[in-house]
Amino acid sequence: MPDHLHMIVMIPSRLPIATFVARFKRAAGYGLDIHWQRGAFDHRIRNDDSFREKLAYVIANPLRAGLVSSAELWPYVKRWP
């Protein structure tokens, strides 16, 4: 997992996801030696069930990768109440 990034972000529906990703990569990589993979694998979340499914996947990813013994130990996740 250290070689990729998962994010759940709110993007205005009028902004294409590809535009957001390109702007994010440009801003996040400014002045750094980051070699981004072309494109992105994206999902537009349209309902609560889809949100919960994607959130569970993202939170469990460090555990699946063997980086932590419990998903709750991963420090880079904003926890929702």
Tens-of-pLDDT digits for all 81 residues of the chain?
467 788 888 888 898 888 888 898 889 888 888 888 777 777 788 899 999 999 888 888 888 989 999 888 888 876 655
The greatest distance separating any two alpha carbons of the chain, rounded to the nearest whole angstrom, comes to 40
Q: What's the alpha-carbon Rg for the chain, to the nearest Å?
A: 14
Q: What is the pTM of this model?
A: 0.69
Dihedral (C-alpha) 68, 1, 23, 30: value to the nearest 10 degrees? 90
The predicted structure's pLDDT at residue 8: 87
The predicted structure's pLDDT at residue 80: 59
The predicted structure's pLDDT at residue 2: 62
